[in-house]
Amino acid sequence: MENVNNTKDREIVLSRIVNATAQLVWQVWTNAEHLDKWWGPNDFTNVTKEMDFSVGGKWRYTMHGPNNMDFANRITYTKIEELAVLEYHHTDDEEPPAIEFYVSVTFEDLGDKTKVTQRSIFPTAEALRKVVEENGAIEGGKQHLGNLDSYVTKLSGEKNFTISREINAPVQLVWDTLTQAEHLKHWWGPVALKISHATVDLQPGGMFHYGMEAPDGNTMWGRFVFREIDEPNKLVYVSSFSDADGGLVKAPFPGIDFPLEVLNILTLKEHNGKTILTLTGEPINPTPSEEETYKGMTQSMQQGFSSTYDQLDKYLETITPKA
């Protein structure tokens, strides 16, 4: 990794809390048999040509894109600290390379979870601008880490949905944004939808009832019915789709047999002045078809919740007092 102090105008830094131990995350990041099954953005697949996982060694692989194009890649490892740090020089397989950048990945052991931080440094600010604008490098990097999380979750035998996120705000403030209507209406839900209605009765048996307006003007309704409230550490609730009056309804997706109700457990933990948010979900009394549908949608739910929590991050920036 180059020893440069001022690289902010030519670097991308992405982090994710991954739901697996550091040992497992390290294993799937450093073994070609695993890498071929998750590496890269959505809809890409990989085939390894050769791999020598050692300082100075190379991993050469071909990435197959959804447009039937192939991309030859070469990674040269420059630093390996087992279970902690991995650094490498990433190029294409051309001479001289048309694209190159340096990457440092750190693996922070959080017990049964791991914080993965990936820092990519490009030769110039213009090179960074090009990959961001022309290749969607930032969104691709987020998908890359999301695919890692989905893969290790599957390997761990996790049957239900789990996502963790480090939020750059104190626990109490994060709790408030998760439980108060005046905050939820500014960030909750998919990116393309706007909260048009939000009420919260924060007590066991109470409800968060919301309406999300689509660009075509249609409104989709949902609700959380609270079961357990332990401010500011834990929130247990049952989520479902609803009607405008808060009544329980099936998911409004033709041909998709989504469970009627999902039990969610949301926890918040302080970590170095920030908050680790973890959400797990499990269908309540699903039919076999509903259970299979839920399992098959975990990757899309990862993407959806990641985008939603991106909106929470942006909203918190607007309300967090500046130091």
pLDDT tens profile 79-129: 999 999 999 999 987 777 778 999 999 999 998 899 999 999 999 999 999
Kindly state the percentage of the chain with pLDDT values over 90. Answer: 78
Domains and CATH numbers, the chain: 8-155 (3.30.530.20), 161-319 (3.30.530.20)
| Average pLDDT value over all residues in the chain | 92
In which band, very low, low, confident or very high, does the pLDDT at 285 lie, cut at 50, 70 and 90?
A: very high
pLDDT at position 210 is 98
pLDDT at position 97 is 74
Please give the torsion angle defined by the CA atoms of residues 308, 312, 314 and 315, in that order, rounded to the nearest 10 degrees: 130
Q: Is the pLDDT of residue 323 over 70?
A: no
Q: Is the dihedral of CA 150, 154, 156, 157 positive or negative?
A: positive
Q: Is the pLDDT of residue 145 over 60?
A: yes
In which band, very low, low, confident or very high, does the pLDDT at 4 lie, cut at 50, 70 and 90?
A: very low
- Per DSSP, what are the bridge partners of residue 70? 64
pLDDT at position 192 is 87
**Calpha distance 29→142 (Å, rounded):** 16
pLDDT at position 3 is 47
The arithmetic mean of pLDDT across residues 15-27, rounded, is 93
**Calpha distance 50→59 (Å, rounded):** 6
Cα→Cα distances 279→34, 129, 173, 220, 295, Å: 26, 34, 17, 22, 16
The arithmetic mean of pLDDT across residues 300-308, rounded, is 90
Q: Is the pLDDT of residue 257 over 90?
A: yes
The arithmetic mean of pLDDT across residues 209-234, rounded, is 95
pLDDT at position 158 is 66
Q: Is the pLDDT of residue 2 over 90?
A: no
Q: Is the pLDDT of residue 141 over 60?
A: yes
In which band, very low, low, confident or very high, does the pLDDT at 298 lie, cut at 50, 70 and 90?
A: confident
pLDDT at position 5 is 53
The pTM of the full predicted model, rounded to 2 decimals, is 0.72
In which band, very low, low, confident or very high, does the pLDDT at 286 lie, cut at 50, 70 and 90?
A: very high
Would you give the DSSP letter of residue 75?
E
pLDDT at position 7 is 78
pLDDT tens profile 30-82: 999 899 999 999 989 999 999 999 999 999 999 998 888 898 999 999 999 99
